[in-house]
């Protein structure tokens, strides 16, 4: 049973929800559960506040820290739901196993998410694409500088009102010098270290005027993998194509959603490796008509410019496949198209 201590002072009346900058505004509450003495304890929802943490907390030193990015939406008729929470729990569990962290029971995770969203649902912006971005975070809180697997953890859920993270088509650089993930590494775990390690190459690309990089495989730098905050799709000869989720690519929930919707719409799909060479020749000969990114925070966003070794390409298609997929997803989310896959879990 999750206990709730309501925040006596809500920040909502003084918050402008029309175009919130991603990740800047927090809602009124925080969910906290503790792992200690070999078990996860019942969680509580408390007023949003700072944590008290030992400087010895193991996560700060050795990066035993994983997270999820999920969204809660309102349907057109005003019901609130969380999108694919069980799948987020499955991915979180996989990430935690890779980082030697104790599994969070599914029942605890799902109850925490729905109780929390129920309490914070007034924070969902009414704008198109408006959502409550949920950030479940689990990290090693045990105070010990010794290099070891922690025996104490905190599981938090925080939230921010959001609209899709990018407001305009992206310009990306295919990164062939630095790598995000190597085989056998942690590329398919949503662990904090993957993001910190990506900052430097991304920062260099941003200094050159790009929004993001598209990573390539660490061994040969000849196959594309994913982009910083998104999985990548290209429409090649009319086929919706995306690299297979291997150990080095994060299994995006939005990626999977888009593939399912494409199958439902009889759009041909293929999960296969895409070489940088194929990408470049596809732009040159016009066989690549669309390239876009998908992610929970990013939603579905066109990539307008792709730079390969200093040569810049723009697909010449009208993004009709991406637009059809995006609007079908939007119709499911707003409740106007049947949710045949039971992705929406209502909290009220
Ligand atoms: C998400 O899309 O939810 C992510 O976690 C990517 C990024 C915001 C860290």
Distance 178 CA to ligand 1 centre (A): 21
Query: Ligand 1 pocket check: which of 85, 296, 301 to mutate, most ligand atoms within 8 Å of Cβ?
Result: 296
Q: Can you list the domains of the chain with their CATH numbers?
A: 3-163 (3.30.470.10), 170-334 (3.20.10.10)
What is the predicted pLDDT for the residue at 19? 87
Phi-psi region at 264: left, alpha or beta (left = phi > 0; alpha = psi -120 to 50) = alpha
CB 243 within 8 A of CB 274: yes
> What is the reported pLDDT for 327?
95
Q: How far apart are CA 233 and CA 255, in angstroms?
A: 9
Phi and psi of 194, rounded to 5°? -60, -35
Structure confidence at residue 1 (pLDDT): 87
pLDDT digits (tens, 9 = 90+) for 257-285: 999 999 999 999 999 999 999 999 999 99
Mean pLDDT of 332-336: 95
CA of 347 from ligand 1 middle (Å) equals 23
Q: Which atom of ligand 1 is nearest to the CA of 135?
A: 3
Q: Which tokens hold the place of 317?
A: 């298609």
pTM over 0.95: yes
Residue 280: phi, psi to the nearest 5?
-65, -45
| Percentage of the chain lying above the pLDDT 90 cut | 96
For ligand 1, the distance from its centroid to the CA atom of residue 281, given in whole angstroms, is: 31
The mean pLDDT value for 220-238 works out to: 97
Q: Which two tokens stand for residue 104?
A: 């969070």
Per-residue model confidence (pLDDT) at position 71:
98
Contact 283, 315 (CB under 8 A): yes
H-type helices in the chain, by residue range? Answer: 58-62, 85-98, 106-120, 192-207, 253-264, 276-285, 320-334
For 324, phi then psi, to 5°, come to -65, -45
pLDDT-derived band of residue 228, with 50, 70 and 90 as boundaries?
confident
Phi, psi of 204 (to 5 degrees): -60, -40
Nearest CA to ligand 1 atom 4: 69
For ligand 1, pick from 295, 299, 300, 301 the residue to mutate: most ligand atoms within 8 Å of CB: 295
Ligand 1 center to residue 209 CA distance, Å? 21
> Is the pLDDT reported for residue 316 higher than 90?
no
- pLDDT tens string 23-53: 999 999 999 999 999 999 999 999 999 999 9
pLDDT at 348: 81
For ligand 1, atom 9: residue with the closest CA: 229
How far apart, in whole angstroms, are the C-alpha atoms of residue 118 and residue 135?
15
Q: Burial level of 130, CB count in 10 A (0-12/13-18/19+)?
A: buried
Q: How far, in Å, CA of 228 to CA of 111, rounded?
A: 30
Backbone angles phi, psi at 76, to 5 degrees: -60, -30
Pocket lined around ligand 1, Cβ cut-off 6 Å: 69, 195, 229, 295-298
Tokens of 141: 């809180």
Identify the burial level of 244 via C-beta atoms within 10 angstroms of its C-beta, where 0-12 means exposed, 13-18 middle and 19 or more buried.
exposed
Of 324, 327, 319, 278, which is closest to residue 302 (Cα–Cα)?
A: 319
Phi–psi pair at 331, nearest 5 degrees? -65, -40
Structure-token pair, residue 80: 């609130």
**pLDDT band of 125, cuts 50, 70, 90:** very high
Give nearest CA residue, ligand 1 atom 6: 229
pLDDT score for 259:
98
**Residue 61: helix, strand or coil by DSSP?**
helix
pLDDT, tens digit, 9 for 90 and up, residues 129-187? 899 999 999 999 999 999 999 999 999 999 999 999 998 999 999 999 999 999 999 99
d(CA 30, CA 32): 6
Residue nearest to atom 7 of ligand 1 (CA): 229
pLDDT at 317 (0 to 100): 83
List the alpha helices (DSSP H) in 70-217.
Answer: 85-98, 106-120, 192-207
CA-proximal residue: ligand 1, atom 5 (nearest): 69
Mean pLDDT computed over every residue of the chain: 97
Q: What is the pLDDT of residue 344?
A: 98
Report residue 45 as tokens.
Answer: 């929802």
The CA 284 to ligand 1 mean position distance, Å, reads 32
pLDDT of residue 212 exceeding 90, the answer is yes
Between the CA of 184 and the centroid of ligand 1 the distance, in Å, is 22
Helices 253-264 & 85-98 angle (0-180, nearest 10): 140
Q: Average of pLDDT values for 1-9?
A: 96
């Amino acid at each position: 049973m999750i206990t709730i201590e309501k925040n006596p002072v809500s920040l909502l009346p003084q918050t402008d929800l029309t175009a919130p900058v991603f990740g800047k505004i927090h809602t009124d509450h925080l969910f906290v559960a503790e792992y200690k003495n070999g078990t996860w304890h019942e969680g509580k929802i408390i007023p949003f506040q700072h944590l008290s943490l030992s400087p010895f907390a193991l996560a700060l030193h050795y990066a035993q820290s994983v997270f999820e990015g999920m969204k809660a939406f309102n349907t057109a008729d005003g019901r609130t739901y969380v999108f694919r929470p069980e799948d987020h729990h499955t991915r979180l569990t996989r990430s935690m196993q890779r980082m030697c962290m104790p599994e969070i029971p599914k029942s605890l995770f799902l109850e925490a998410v729905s109780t929390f969203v129920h309490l914070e649902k007034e924070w969902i912006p009414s704008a198109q694409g408006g959502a409550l971005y949920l950030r479940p975070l689990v990290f090693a809180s045990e105070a010990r500088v010794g290099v070891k697997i922690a025996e104490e953890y905190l599981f938090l859920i925080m939230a921010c009102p959001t609209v899709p993270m990018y407001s305009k088509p992206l310009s990306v650089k295919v990164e062939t010098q630095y790598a995000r993930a190597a085989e056998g590494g942690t590329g398919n775990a949503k662990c904090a270290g993957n993001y910190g390690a990506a900052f430097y190459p991304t920062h260099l690309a941003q200094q050159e005027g790009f929004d993001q990089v598209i990573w390539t495989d660490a061994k040969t730098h000849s196959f594309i993998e994913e982009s910083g905050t998104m999985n990548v799709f290209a429409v090649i000869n009319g086929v919706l194509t995306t690299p297979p989720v291997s150990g080095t690519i994060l299994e995006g929930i939005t990626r999977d959603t888009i593939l399912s919707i494409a199958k439902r719409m009889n759009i041909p799909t293929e999960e296969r490796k895409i070489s940088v060479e194929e990408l470049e020749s596809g732009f040159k000969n016009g066989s690549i008509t669309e390239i876009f990114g998908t992610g929970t925070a990013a939603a579905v966003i066109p990539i307008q410019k792709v730079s390969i070794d200093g040569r810049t390409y723009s697909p010449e298609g009208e993004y009709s496949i991406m637009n059809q997929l995006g609007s079908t997803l939007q119709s499911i989310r707003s409740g106007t198209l049947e949710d045949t896959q039971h992705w929406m879990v209502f909290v009220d």
